[in-house]
Structure formats: structure tokens, C-alpha cells
């Protein structure tokens, strides 16, 4: 007759199984103006289906409308402190980069997946390498068909464009659509969107839905058709340089000083007639280009509103102040809200968490239910900044 395993032996087997379980940690964000969270109950369930254990720091989802009870019901374990949350984690999911207080709590060899914002901060990248973590920066995801579901820049910019119009309408103080009433006709507001990327196109669509007369500009030739398809008028200097002004990745190129001068002249005359202007111009790894000068601001009517979505990167608007709504001497409001997608935290978190899950899923072997990073995968090579104590991304390698 076979011997019955002892209780101690059973506990030992359970302990071994737990030791091999992949642990995914979701700490609360430490930045004061960051209300997003890196996992939702929906993605927690999906990670559990991949064989992982998920631990979420208490309160991590509250500003996105997700309670600890919601996470518990989905199958996550709740931890009280950052230390308890991060202890032993194989994968750390965040919105922003790890803070100086969090980094020592993450074990060497762990994968950290977040929007790391490394440009211009080589010291931070080195600190991640020194900490021995494998840091993946989600905003470096290549723009290929396979990675569309992982594209955090698009998912968050889409919301930023929408929120920019809502913020502009709130500050404007007048109605946006034309209204024909017994007391008279209210003219439609004129809105000008500068930059027709993901954020700009959503801003155009939202302003149109609210009834504004919309125009837009962009230095990429492909944008002209996209702007027109949304019912807006396209404004640009369409010379030979304009026809070649797009990178292979779909971003705008840095334009020559001559082109910028011609475009600025056209823009200046157009802006003076606008009620709302929204700027969205950003080039990865570079300061935001200045699109609107103080003279252009001064030419606008009192009560007009400018929303600068690039204010965290130096701003597109002269006079914009990060985190503030500035009222100029001639009564124009310049809106410089920080973390605009985070102003729609619940929706932004839902999309961002799905982006993270779609990428993290590619790093997990479904048969063994364990991490199996393919370091030759184009998604991994594009997003990995550090590995095994070294900086591995070509853009951040020390210069000879």
C-alpha cells in the first residue's frame, strides 16, 4: 500500500509551486498628478489566465475608479505598502518610471514595463541598469501592424485630443455650435488644430461634433486627406519640402528654418481669426517646437483660448506655463494642463492596461506559464533599455 504523504510534505510541494509562480506587481503611482493605474480587473483576470499571480498595492486604482475590492474580486492579492507589493516580483507594471524610493525595492532581473520617458535623462537610464532590472519603455513600441494594440502613445494621445477640446470649451465661455434662436443667431466658434497626429485628429473630430468650424495644419502631406475626411479645412504651405516632410515611422520631420518662417506667416494670419487653438506638435526625443509666438497670441480676440498639449516638453506656445491657465494682458487664456490623458483617468487606465497586457503576453510562454523573453523579437529590441546590468538600447549607449 502506498504511503500517504505527510502534511509537511504537502506544504513543501505547495511552497515549491508558489516559488515557481510568476509574480506580477502593480504598485500605486507616486507622482501627485498621476491618476492612472497600470492594471484593471479585466487585465488582472487575463494575467491569472496566463498562470501568473498578481499583487496590487492598496489604493492603486482609486483615482481611476477601481477599488481594492474590485481587484480582489478579479483574483488579485492586495498589499499594503510598496515594499510588500514589489517584494519578489518578476514583472512590475507601472504608468510612470519607478521612483527613487521604489527602485531599490525591485529585485534584480525583474522586468519593469512602463512609460519611462528616458530622453534627456541618461542618469535615470544608468540607474535602471545599475539596479539590474530589464526596463521596457512602452512609448518606444514600433509602429507596425502587430504592435497596434500595444501603442500607448496612440491610446493616450487619442484621449488627450478629446480632453483638450473639452477643456477649451470649458474655458471659452461661449457656445461652440451655431444656434438659431428667437432672440438671434449665435455664430459657431472657430477652432484651429495645430498638428494632425492621433491627438490632433481626435481634437478635430471632437470640435466638429460640438459644432465648431474647424481648420487644421500639419507638416505631413498624408495629414491633408485625413483632415479633410473629418470635415475640417487644411491650412499649410504646400511646397516641395512639405511633400517630403514625414519619417518612415509616420512622425513629422524637423522642418527647415525657411519653411518654418513661411508656415509661421500663414499661421499668424489664420490664428488672429480663431476662437480656440489647440497645439499638439511633438517630435520624439526633441523639445517641442514653438508654433505660436507672443505676437500671435496678442493678435487673438479677448476670450479666445489656446490649449498647449506639448507644455510638458517645453510647449508649442510662447507664454504657456506647465500646470497653469495663464490669462494674457489682452484676455487670451493659455491652458497648460499637465498629464492631459490622466484627466480622464478611468478611460485612460482601461486603454493603457490593455496596451501593457498585449505586450506582456508576448513575454510569457503559455505552455510553461513562465517568463520567456525573446530578446531577438523586434518589439523587445525596440523597447528594451536595460538588461543584465547594462544599457542595451542603441539610443542610450554611452557615446565614444
Q: Which residues are catalytic?
A: 143, 148, 151, 154, 251
Write down the H helix ranges in 79-120: 82-86
**Grid cell of 238 as nine digits:** 504646400
Q: Cα–Cα distance between 233 and 227 in angstroms, integer?
A: 7
**Grid cell of 61 as nine digits:** 486604482
Q: Please give the distance of CA 306 from its chain centroid, rounded to a whole number.
A: 21
Helix or strand or coil: residue 235?
coil
Query: Closest Cα to residue 242, out of 264, 265, 218, 209?
Result: 218
Q: Cα–Cα distance between 216 and 232 in angstroms, integer?
A: 7
List the beta bridge partners of residue 23. 53
Radius of gyration of the chain (CA): 24
Helix or strand or coil: residue 217?
strand
> Terminus-to-terminus CA distance in the chain, angstroms?
71
Cell 478579479, located at residue? 74
Distance (Å) of CA 193 to CA 12, 184, 201, 235, 278: 63, 29, 8, 10, 5
Q: Cα–Cα distance between 368 and 215 in angstroms, integer?
A: 54
Helix or strand or coil: residue 390?
strand
Helix or strand or coil: residue 202?
helix
Q: Cα–Cα distance between 93 and 96 in angstroms, integer?
A: 9
**Grid cell of 154 as nine digits:** 496612440
Q: Cα–Cα distance between 139 and 118 in angstroms, integer?
A: 10
Amino acid at each position: 500500500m502506498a504511503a500517504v504523504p505527510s502534511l509537511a510534505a504537502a506544504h513543501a510541494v505547495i511552497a515549491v509551486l508558489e516559488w515557481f509562480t510568476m509574480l506580477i506587481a502593480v504598485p500605486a503611482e507616486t507622482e501627485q498628478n498621476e491618476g492612472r493605474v497600470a492594471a484593471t480587473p479585466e487585465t488582472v483576470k487575463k494575467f491569472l489566465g496566463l498562470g501568473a499571480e498578481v499583487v496590487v498595492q492598496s489604493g492603486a486604482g482609486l483615482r481611476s475608479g477601481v477599488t481594492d475590492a474590485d481587484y480582489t474580486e478579479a483574483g488579485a492579492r492586495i498589499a499594503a505598502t510598496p515594499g510588500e507589493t514589489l517584494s519578489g516580483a518578476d514583472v512590475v507594471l507601472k504608468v510612470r518610471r519607478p521612483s527613487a524610493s521604489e527602485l531599490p525595492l525591485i529585485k534584480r532581473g525583474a522586468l519593469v514595463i512602463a512609460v519611462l520617458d528616458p530622453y534627456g535623462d541618461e542618469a535615470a537610464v544608468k540607474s535602471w541598469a545599475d539596479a539590474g532590472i530589464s526596463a521596457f519603455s512602452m512609448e518606444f513600441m514600433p509602429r507596425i501592424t502587430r504592435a497596434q494594440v500595444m501603442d500607448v502613445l496612440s491610446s493616450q494621445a487619442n484621449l488627450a485630443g478629446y480632453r483638450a477640446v473639452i477643456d477649451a470649451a470649458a474655458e471659452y465661455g461661449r457656445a461652440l455650435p451655431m444656434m438659431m434662436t428667437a432672440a438671434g443667431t449665435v455664430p459657431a466658434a472657430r477652432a484651429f488644430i495645430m498638428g494632425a497626429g492621433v491627438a490632433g485628429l481626435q481634437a478635430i473630430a471632437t470640435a466638429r461634433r460640438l459644432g465648431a468650424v474647424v481648420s487644421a495644419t500639419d507638416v505631413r502631406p498624408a495629414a491633408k486627406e485625413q483632415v479633410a475626411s473629418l470635415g475640417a479645412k487644411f491650412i499649410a504651405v504646400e511646397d516641395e519640402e512639405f511633400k517630403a516632410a514625414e519619417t518612415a515611422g509616420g512622425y513629422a520631420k524637423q522642418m527647415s528654418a525657411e519653411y518654418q518662417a513661411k508656415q509661421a506667416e500663414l499661421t499668424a494670419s489664420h490664428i488672429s481669426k480663431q476662437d480656440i487653438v489647440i497645439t499638439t506638435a511633438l517630435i520624439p526625443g526633441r523639445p517641442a517646437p514653438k508654433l505660436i509666438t507672443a505676437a500671435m497670441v496678442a493678435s487673438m480676440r479677448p476670450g479666445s483660448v489656446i490649449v498647449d498639449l506639448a507644455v510638458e516638453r517645453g510647449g508649442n506656445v510662447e507664454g504657456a506655463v506647465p500646470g497653469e491657465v495663464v490669462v494674457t494682458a489682452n484676455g487670451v487664456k493659455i491652458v497648460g494642463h499637465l498629464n492631459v490623458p490622466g484627466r480622464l483617468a478611468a478611460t485612460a487606465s482601461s486603454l493603457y492596461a490593455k496596451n501593457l497586457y498585449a505586450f506582456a503576453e508576448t513575454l510569457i510562454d503559455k505552455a510553461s506559464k513562465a517568463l520567456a523573453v525573446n530578446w531577438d523579437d523586434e518589439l523587445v529590441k525596440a523597447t528594451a533599455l536595460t538588461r543584465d546590468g547594462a544599457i542595451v538600447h542603441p539610443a542610450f549607449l554611452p557615446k565614444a
